[in-house]
Amino acid sequence: MTTSATLEAKKVSAGCGLEIHGVDIARLSNSEMEDIRRLYFEHGVIFFRDQDITPEEHIAFAQRWGEIDINKFFPANGKYPEIAEVRKEKEQKTNIGGGWHTDHSYDQVPAMGSILVARELPTDGGDTLFANMYAAYEGLSDGMKKTLEGLRAVHSNEMAFGAAGFYKNTDQGAGFKGEDLVGSAVHPVVLAHPETGRKALYVNPGFTMHFEGWTAEESEGLLAYLYRHATRPEYTCRFEWRPGSIAFWDNRCTWHYAVNDYHGQKRLMHRITIGGSALN
């Protein structure tokens, strides 16, 4: 348990996630904001409960962290272009984010963080899994760390969001846009976090294609090992959504996975993504 003059925080699991209580994120004092900033960068993903915030307050909270990165693929909330809708209707079978990934790793300057607010929830199911890439890197052997040192990997969004990508061929396809805006980027496999300096594993099953200078076939075995390693139970946590819940994760040092186990029920989340900085 972590405490300060105004808030208390409890780990969700031993290796991943922190749930913060005792604050109203729509009315944070400067000292509360600094406490939350410190905990966010330390833990990589933080959660809040019982937050009755409006879309305007969601946007204002995000702006306290940086410039909002307007999503070019997700359906936008009609009134608020800053807010992307993560929606699954009752009749749909495919959800958004139903596999391990980190947001925007395919961008030249990947996003810093994502703030997800629960708006409509199923009566059961719809949890989100998270994995801590600080812990995943630190759990590698010295030999593997040396192997990865200096490697870079190619990330692309084409297989997910392109004209022939995954979502276009599902019952989510009509809601997606921007298939002509797909692209790729190259990033270090092990990054030094821009805020903390800590090393984190920076590949992910959703968008990493292959190591730079390697073929996809040559990369497959090592990437598969890293993906299995990174999702070991000791590096992960599971967040159960309730009305008023908010998750805020750092895309540089976490993965997440939206569990698709609520067919026949609607789930609507509002997501704002915050721009980041180049990775080293």
Structure token pair of residue 240: 């159960």
- Rounded Cα gap, residues 163 and 178, in angstroms: 9
- Rounded Cα gap, residues 107 and 229, in angstroms: 25
Estimate the share of the chain in helix, then strand, then coil, as percent rounded to the nearest 5: 25, 30, 50
Which residue out of 43, 58, 69, 103 is catalytically annotated?
A: 103
- Could you tell me the CA-to-CA distances from 195 to 35, 150, 192, 243 in Å, in that order? 15, 20, 9, 31
Examine the residue annotation and report whether 103 is marked as an active-site residue of this protein.
Answer: yes
Which residue out of 104, 193, 256, 267 is catalytically annotated?
A: 256
Contacts of 125 (CB under 8 A, 6+ apart): 259, 261, 262, 265
Which residue out of 43, 101, 104, 270 is catalytically annotated?
A: 101
Asked if residue 204 lies in contact with residue 229, where contact means CB atoms within 8 angstroms, the answer is no
Residue 145 identity (one-letter amino acid): K
Which residue out of 104, 155, 210, 271 is catalytically annotated?
A: 271
Examine the residue annotation and report whether 127 is marked as an active-site residue of this protein.
Answer: no
Give the closest residue to 102 by CA, choosing from 127, 129, 126. Answer: 129
Examine the residue annotation and report whether 193 is marked as an active-site residue of this protein.
Answer: no
Which helix (H) or strand (E) segment is 27 a member of?
none
Examine the residue annotation and report whether 229 is marked as an active-site residue of this protein.
Answer: no
Residues belonging to the active site? 101, 103, 256, 271
